[in-house]
Structure 1
């Protein structure tokens, strides 16, 4: 089954919605205009409920089917990123310092397209819960929505989400059973030594030398503490110290990220990082304080739901355009919290030859919106047939 005809006919409207959203990006939990736009469209479509103010600006809409049955959840993220757009598109961001550089405008549009179709046809049993979530980009809006009880309140028994993927053929799908994205932790190491004149280092306790040694030693966690085949990425991404060429400062600090899939690898990485910092600090005679923050957990697909979703995608685009067991990504997603709460799956849909995610030249490919909306629609109709 290709793209549904009525959704294909909706493509011009979906493009209009998406480009309005792209021009009006909002960050973190402050998705006020976005949520109002979504709520207005949903009411125009004739959904049965629009529940607003969840996780501040999130909302959940309900569409009832034609027979009794369970409730399936479909989630789209709505927030943008704090960066300046450089696409030069006619529909470029009108908000300085904010940009839809991850395609959440497209994700919201695909779910709106599915909502319009499902509210008109209702060829399914039970209910569908349309989850429009703020603050995916670091704010943990998915966690907040789960903590505020959306799964229990709306009796959701399974939940699914879709994300675009640059560099892959437009409309091609991929997913995998088990972990599909990593846990994302951050660390900050504050180093205190004794400053002084750059020409008299023997009178100082140099925090820069210690910082460089610590940064180098941390990378041995991956090369010397990890069993081959286990997945771990540790990157030192910031090093800050000093104010002038002839001053050895008293303070320095490093920051970075740790990405893992397995809980035991995550525990090991944190423990070894703390031990290495303590040992290196002692060897250089400085003091070092580690602040280690555990962020999003790994996004773990439930195998049965991942296979089911891949089969539905194959109905839309053909089996040759679906990869059901692709290697996981080391990026992170707060849909992880929803998959901890309920069975479900996360999939990617190819965005074509576009700039990468979180790049100032990125733009969502409007041509894939009807494909994604058709997939979400068929997911509901296949999971909960009449």
Structure 2
């Protein structure tokens, strides 16, 4: 295996981004790339993405999972709305395939590795859909990797776990009646309702020792006719909490507030959808394996402590929904700026062979 193949995969996926649940060409590319190199990949039956086994999957073998997320974001880049790999998933694919190519040359005794190329991480749905495919049940360990912003990890350093918080969204529509601008007594102005809603959200107080945030990130009301007082609007709220317990508490408080809004202003709350990615529940044994892999690959002086971040990742559904599965994610330093999800995110591409080598070493160290 040469580093050139890591860069080849990265460049192709980077130039051909696809959004969540539409990763058709990405799936085909990975499938064909692996087939051409002697692997036997298997596409998922009910969703985009695929997996591929290497080594021994007999009943008493140690079974290790390695995940790469494959979807891109949809955002404006240079004035154009488009799919864009600004979260590093293109590099994750490249690093995992690099590790696969290296593992392929090894004789794995009583050990099997399942490489999972997962869709729809950005929607927080992909891990659950992979679980539904039934390919996680047999695994003992699950490892992942993610590029980290320069504030969390400088280039050349790596962490044996990323302790993500729970992250969620609340979307809904407030439905009332429009009224003429000259007759404000005939309806409730949904913009004013939205203002009250903002104030009520700011009154939610949870344990201050647990980092959390609640932010309205969508408020669409009104139209082209400025003499109409809008009665309906669409809303979106971003919610963050470092623990699953506080996330649940915040969600319940938001439900109570929406019920109060509905009753107070005689409006309906429609299309309410509350979704959350769980906070990490990393396993100490998995962290120890990744820690030793980092030390073996780049040395103890480049080893970081576990990274605690308010960002989220649906990787943690694997371990939360499968308590016997031991999982953790590598946090890879790569001088990433200005930040994840920034439309012009950039990082040191020479970090990818390092990340790939850490994944490989973790597979070899697992026992």
- Residue 367 and residue 247 in structure 1: after superposition, are their counterparts in 2 closer, same or farther (change >3 A)? same
Measured after TM superposition, the shift of residue 366 of structure 1 is 2.0
Q: Report the TM-score, using the length of structure 2 for normalisation.
A: 0.88
Residue 332 of structure 1 corresponds to 312
For 2:66 and 2:232, the matched residues in 1 are separated by: 48
Measured after TM superposition, the shift of residue 275 of structure 1 is 2.0
1:164-203 → structure 2 map (5 Å cutoff) = 164-167=147-150, 168-176=153-161, 180-203=163-186
Residue 87 of structure 2 corresponds to 102
Work out whether residues 79 and 136 of structure 1, in 8 Å CA contact, stay in contact via their aligned partners in 2: yes
Residue 216 of structure 1 corresponds to 199
For 1:288 and 1:298, the matched residues in 2 are separated by: 32
For 1:132 and 1:213, the matched residues in 2 are separated by: 44
Measured after TM superposition, the shift of residue 198 of structure 1 is 3.2
User: Which whole-Å deviations, capped at 9, do the CAs of 1:18-75 have from their partners, x for residues lacking one?
Assistant: 101111222222323222222233234334x322234433222111169973111111
SS in 1 for 2:209: coil
Measured after TM superposition, the shift of residue 85 of structure 1 is 4.2
Indicate whether 1:45 and 2:37 are aligned. Answer: yes
Tell me the number of residue pairs that the alignment of Structure 1 and Structure 2 aligns: 359
For 1:200 and 1:278, the matched residues in 2 are separated by: 27
Work out whether residues 270 and 292 of structure 1, in 8 Å CA contact, stay in contact via their aligned partners in 2: no
Residue 107 of structure 2 corresponds to 122
Measured after TM superposition, the shift of residue 318 of structure 1 is 2.3
Residue 21 of structure 1 corresponds to 13
Measured after TM superposition, the shift of residue 170 of structure 1 is 1.9
SS in 1 for 2:339: coil
Work out whether residues 29 and 139 of structure 1, in 8 Å CA contact, stay in contact via their aligned partners in 2: no
- Residue 249 and residue 66 in structure 1: after superposition, are their counterparts in 2 closer, same or farther (change >3 A)? closer
For 2:144 and 2:174, the matched residues in 1 are separated by: 42
For 1:86 and 1:161, the matched residues in 2 are separated by: 31
Residue 131 of structure 1 corresponds to 116
Which consecutive residues of structure 1, in runs of 5 or more, have no partner in the other structure? 1-6, 88-94
Residue 31 of structure 1 corresponds to 23
Q: Report the TM-score, using the length of structure 1 for normalisation.
A: 0.84
| Aligned residues: CA RMSD | 2.7
For 1:188 and 1:30, the matched residues in 2 are separated by: 22
Indicate whether 1:238 and 2:218 are aligned. Answer: yes
Indicate whether 1:12 and 2:4 are aligned. Answer: yes
- Residue 239 and residue 230 in structure 1: after superposition, are their counterparts in 2 closer, same or farther (change >3 A)? same
Which consecutive residues of structure 2, in runs of 5 or more, have no partner in the other structure? none
User: Which whole-Å deviations, capped at 9, do the CAs of 1:325-365 have from their partners, x for residues lacking one?
Assistant: 332x2222121221222211012101214332222212453
- Residue 267 and residue 99 in structure 1: after superposition, are their counterparts in 2 closer, same or farther (change >3 A)? closer
- Residue 55 and residue 137 in structure 1: after superposition, are their counterparts in 2 closer, same or farther (change >3 A)? farther
Q: 1:316 aligns with which of 297, 301, 307?
A: 297
